Structure 1
Amino acid sequence: MEPYISVKNVSHKYPNGVTAIKDINLDIHEGEVVAILGSNGSGKTTLVKHFNGLLKPTKGEITVGTMNTKKERISKLSSQVGYVFQNPNHQTFLPSVRQELAYGCKNLKMVDEDIETRVQKAIDLFQLEDRLDDNPFDLNSSQRKEVAMASIMAVSPKVIVLDEPTTGQDHKGCKRVLELVRMFKREGHIVVLITHDMHLIGELNCRTVVMNQSEKIADDHASVVFSNKGIMEEAGLQPPQITQFANQITRFDETKTYLTVESIIEWMKANKEEDVKVGTGS
């Protein structure tokens, strides 16, 4: 199957001479959730900003669907790659939630009937019916971030990029982000996450790309990447706390990577059953 996003030998050098990414190759397919990890300055954000044309490759090529990003306008690419910024204040600027939800569709010059259908779907999915007349800046940070996501959802791009979606969120907000990522996937979107949130990646257990010093150093399932101590140390990253906990307990299966509390509970239940069988002689 052909990838929807194809990154071929891409490098990007900023005007000040700094090479932010170097010789990156990456294919992303329909239906995937992909986390891009790395410490600050590793190149992860620079890489992803190429997907909707915010940046153009200095070397190499990126295709999104059938579009070469070097040759297309940001507006056209943004219809296929929606970018939700880390700070929703950088994305919301209109006086009501209703206007925010419709803005992207109007900017792409969609017909009124289509706009109404798309906006209503976003309202329903995000349960925003009671907030439509609110000013986004009167909402809390979690609610503003949801409005930003909903405005992208109304446009309905194939790819949704979430830049540090759990930053500044409390436990409830982080849980909601997890639910929304799963919803985006169910709705048929490719989801790309730029994040430091190892717990979120552990819960999703998704494909994980690790960047370090402008290069891609790992690309595999989260359970495989998080179990590779060499990669994690090289990138200056720590696996989820629950994974670190499991690594300290010698009774756990050393061939398995535990990413969630649920996986620990499953292990405990399974081993309790084994203990009972041994105790009863069965």
Structure 2
Amino acid sequence: MSIEKKLKKPVASFILLTNIIFLPLFFLVGTIKILGFPTWVFDLARCISAWSSTFAFAILFKKIFPGQSFIDFVKNKFKTKIKLTVILSVCMIQLALFMIILFLIMNKREVESIFTISSWGMLFYYFFRNLLSGPLGEELGWRGFAQVELQKRFSPLKASIIIGFWWGLWHLPMWLTTGYWGMDLIIYILSFMISIISTSIIMAAFYNLNQNLIIPIIVHQFFNFYIGLINGNLIHLITYNAIFYLTAAIIIIIINPKKVLYGMNVPSINNEKEYRI
């Protein structure tokens, strides 16, 4: 019986393949937009492109975990009983951040309507469209695999910063389609990276408290959902997000340093002594 050879650098391979898969899908989304296809076709293509990390992880799975079942791996990510206190904490923190940012944007009076959604039907559509793309499409690979895998070698804090950086950089093609140039683009990119690394830290902290993939999915969902609800200057929105999510991440580290700095003990599946990124 032949034994499949394990990848020497599974996380690096995952990140590389994720980007390789994403780029053509991103260009497909852009082409659909330019050619004026119906909105539902554009939304479907965008959702599919967001799943590039899951596609990459599924392709590499047998090379990372030889002899194991991909379906069983996914099931195990949701088998831990969800703690109500963790869910409530995540929801309340992000709701508080949303309300603060909303208040600041309202005071600027930049637009007539403060919300981007004009009906309950559109609100529900936006919520579930958002859920099916980023949160459900990205978290299995980035948090369910990469975050946990890096914690075999690094602290949850360091692992989350590394993952947050590469997760943020994965969005690079999107930055170039914002229409911003010069200083505005620099501010946008810096704010985006601070926001996403801070969110990655928050995800890691709560994921270590309750090892169920539902937790980072919820954090991701509300991060995207709330900022998309507010109708305001995008530079202001992303800057406020950066400031307040970074503040929340720092407070979480201060409140629970042991869990963030040391976290859960993640055993190597094959009890190997060495691990390479």
- TM bucket (normalised to shorter chain) is under 0.3
Give the TM-score taking structure 2 as reference length.
0.25
Larger radius of gyration: 1
- Structure having the higher strand fraction is 1
Q: Which of the pair has the greater relative contact order for Cα pairs under 8 Å at 6+ separation? A: 2
